[in-house]
Structure 1
Amino acid sequence: MQLDTSRRIGSPWLGAAAAALAVVLWALVPLLVAQAGELPPLRLSALALLAGALGTLPMARRRRHGEAPLSRLPGGLVYLGVPLLVAGAVGACVVAFRLAPAEEAALLLYTWPVLFLLASRRLATGRLPASTLTGAGLAFSGAALLVAPQALAGGVSGAWAGHGLALLGAACWALYSLACQVPAWRLGERMPHLLLIASVMVGGLSLVLEGVHALPSRESLLATAALGLGPYGLAMLAWDRALRDPMAQRLGNLAHAVPVLATLFLVLAGVTTPDWRLPLAALLVVAGSLVASR
C-alpha cells in the first residue's frame, strides 16, 4: 500500500474544514443510534449505509476521461475489501452502542485515530517513535479508565461484547482511513458504490441473524436517514478529502475530538448522566493523540 504524499493544490483551510465537518457529524452517531432505538442494529446499519449511498450519489466526483481503470487486483481490494471494512466499522459500531453504554462504546470506538496514526507512521517511516507509542498508551488508558471499574466490580459482564465490537469498529475505521490515502483508488468518487455494497453485506447478515421485522416508526426512519446522510454520507466524503491533504496526519488529530463532542451531545440530550470518569477519559484520549502526533 502506498500512501499519498503528493502535493495538493487548493486552499490550506479546505482540508481542515472538511476534517472538522466529519468530526462534528461523527460525534452525532451515538445520539442518532439512540433515537432509532426500535430498529435492530444490523438493520439500522444497512439502512443507514443505503441512505449514505443515495446521499453521496450527486456529490461524488465522476472519473475523469482518460484515467486508467483499476487493475483486477486493486479493483477487488477496492470493491470488496473497502466495503467490508465499512460494513464492519458501521455494523460493529451500532451493535456496540446497543450492548454497552453509549458513552463507553464511543470512547473505545474513537481510539481509531491512534491506530491510524500508528499504522501510517509505521508505513511512512518504517519505525514508531517513542512519542507515538507514549501517546497511544495515553489514549488507550483513557478507554481503560471506563472499562476497568466494571471489570473489577462485576467481572466479565455482557458489556464486554459491546466493548470488543467497539474496538473491532476502531480497527476497521483505521484501516479504512489508510485506504483513503491510496491515491490510485480514488475512494471519494466511488463512495456511492462502496456504501451500496456495504449496505448489501450488512443487510444480508441482518436477514440471517435478525429475520424480518415490522416497518419502523417515522421517527426511527428519520433518525436512520439522518445517520446515513450525515455521519455515513457527507462525513465520509469530507474525511476522504481531508486525508488527501498534505497535512493529513495533523488533520487526523481532529478526530480525537469526536468522543468529547459525542459525550457532550449525549449529556445535553439527556441520554446519559455526567460521570467524573467521562471527561477524564476523554482528556486522556485527546492528550494521547497530541503526544503521538509530535
Structure 2
Amino acid sequence: MHKLPTLVGFSAIIMWSSLAVLTAASGTMPPFQLSAICFAIGSVIGVSAMLRQPSRFRALRQPAKVWALGLFGLFGYHFLYFTALRNAPAVEAGLIAYVWPLLIVVGSALLPGERLGWHRVAGALLGLSGTALILLQGADGGFGGGSLIGYGAAVLAALTWSSYSLLSRRFGSTPTDVITGFCMISAVASLLFHLLMETTVWPDNTGQWFAVIGLGLGPVGLAFYAWDYGVKNGNIQFLGVASYAAPLLSTLILIGFGYGEATLTIAVAAMLITGGAFLAAKDLLKRKKRK
C-alpha cells in the first residue's frame, strides 16, 4: 500500500547523493547566486504541476510560522552547503554536512514520548568520531586558505537541516504543494542577498551550466517534493534508515568523478558516520524486521 510513496521518497535520497558532485561541477558561482537559480528552477517544477489543477494554489495559504520554517530549512541549509563546498574540499565538506541523518535520529529521541537509549548515544559518538577525523585531516593542511569557513558552514548545514526536519513534524498536515512556495521565497531571498553581497559569476562552459540546471531539477528541486510526499504517505521508518546511506553514496560519487581521493581516512570516516547512524536507528531496524 505504501510502496509507491516510499519509492518516491527514496528517489529524493538518490538525488541528494548527487548534490555534492553537481555543486563541485558547477564552477565558481557564489552561493547566494547559485541558490537563487536552483530555487527558481525548483519553483517552476511546482508551479507547472499546480497549473494543471489551479485549486492546488490554495495550499500556499499558510501561517507565517510555516513560511519561516521553509525559509530556514531550504534557504538556510543550501546557502551553508554551497558555502561549504566552495571553501573546503568537496568530499570532506560533503561528509560533514551529511551528518544530518544521525542528528535527526538523536534529536528525535528527545521528543515527547521518546527516549535516548545507549545505542543512540553510541551512534552519535561514532558519527562525531568520523567528523573529527575529517577535521583533523584538514588541520594538517586544509584549514588554511578559507577551509575553516567551509568546514564550519558544513557543520551548520547539518544542524540546520536536522533541525528543519525535526520541526517539520509539527506541520505534518501541510500539503506538499507548499514546497513550491518554499522554493519561491528561498529564490527571492537568495537573489536579494546576492545583489547586496556578491559579485555575479556565470558558468564558464556548457558542463557547468548543465551542473547548475541539474541541481535545480534534482537535489535542489524535485527532491524536496519527493521527500515530502514520501515521508507523509510512505514508510517513514524505511526512509529514515535509508537516508543514512546518503553520505556514503555522495562520497563514492565524488571520488568516482575525480573530486576527491579514496584515502584510508575518508573510508574510515564514511564508515564511522554511516555505521553510527545505523546503530542510532537500531530500534527502527528491529521494528521493520518484526513486520
TM-score range, shorter chain: 0.7 to 0.9
- Is 2:251 the partner of 1:273? no
Shift in Å, 1:246 = 6.4
Cα offset, 1:38, TM superposition = 3.2
* Aligned equivalents of 1:268, 1:249: Cα separation in 2: 30
Q: Which residue of 2 aligns with 1:20?
A: 10
Structure 1 residues 5-44: aligned runs within 5 Å: 11-44=1-34
**CA separation of 1:127 and 1:13: change in aligned 2, threshold 3 A:** same
Distance, in Å, in 1 between the alignment partners of 2:107 and 2:49 is: 29
Residues 168-247 of structure 1: matches in 2 within 5 Å?
168-181=156-169, 182-186=171-175, 188-213=176-201, 217-245=205-233, 247=235
**Residue-pair matches, total:** 278
Q: Aligned with 2:27: secondary structure?
A: coil
Within a 5 Å distance, the mapping from 1:25-64 to structure 2 comes to: 25-59=15-49
Contact 1:19-1:252 within 8 A present in 2 as well: no
* 2:124 pairs with 1:136: yes
Counterpart residue type for residue 104 of structure 2: F
* Two-structure CA RMSD over aligned residues (Å): 2.5
Tell me, which stretches of 5 or more residues in structure 1 are unaligned?
1-10
Per the alignment, residue 291 of structure 1 pairs with 279
Q: 1:244 aligns to what SS in structure 2?
A: helix
2: CA distance between counterparts of 1:184 and 1:131? Answer: 31
Contact 2:56 2:177 in 1 (8 A): no
Q: Cα offset for 1:30?
A: 1.2
Q: What percentage of residue pairs aligned between the two structures are identical?
A: 30
Gapped runs of 5+ residues in structure 2?
Answer: 283-291
Greater per-residue helix proportion = 2
Deviation at 1:217, TM superposition (A): 4.3
Alignment partner, residue 289 of structure 2: none
Instruction: Tell which deviates more after alignment, 162-171 or 51-60.
Output: 51-60
In structure 1, what is the equivalent of residue 288 of structure 2?
none
| 91-100 or 110-119, larger mean C-alpha shift | 110-119
Shift of 1:179: 4.0
C-alpha contact (below 8 Å) 1:134/1:292 kept by paired residues: yes
Question: Can you list the C-alpha shifts for 1:119-152, whole angstroms capped at 9, x where unaligned?
Answer: 222214253122111111111211111111332x
Deviation readout 1:31-61 (Å, 9 max, x if unpaired): 1112211322221111111111112333468
Residues 9-35 of structure 1 show CA distances to partners (whole Å, capped at 9, x for unaligned) of xx2323431232111111111111122
Q: Which of residues 127, 145, 160 in structure 1 aligns to 2:133?
A: 145
Q: Distance in 1 between matches of 2:8 and 2:203?
A: 35
Report the TM-score when normalising by structure 2. 0.86
Q: CA deviation at 1:108?
A: 0.5
Task: Name the aligned partner's letter for residue 37 of structure 1.
Answer: G
Cα contact 1:180–1:244 (8 A) shared by 2: no
TM-score, normalised with respect to structure 1: 0.85
- Aligned-partner SS, 2:116: coil
Secondary structure at the aligned position of 2:263 is classed as: coil
The code of the aligned residue for 1:197 comes to I
The answer as to whether partners of 1:108 and 1:143 remain within 8 angstroms in 2 is yes
- The aligned counterpart of 2:64 is 76
Question: Equivalent residue of 2:259, what SS?
Answer: coil
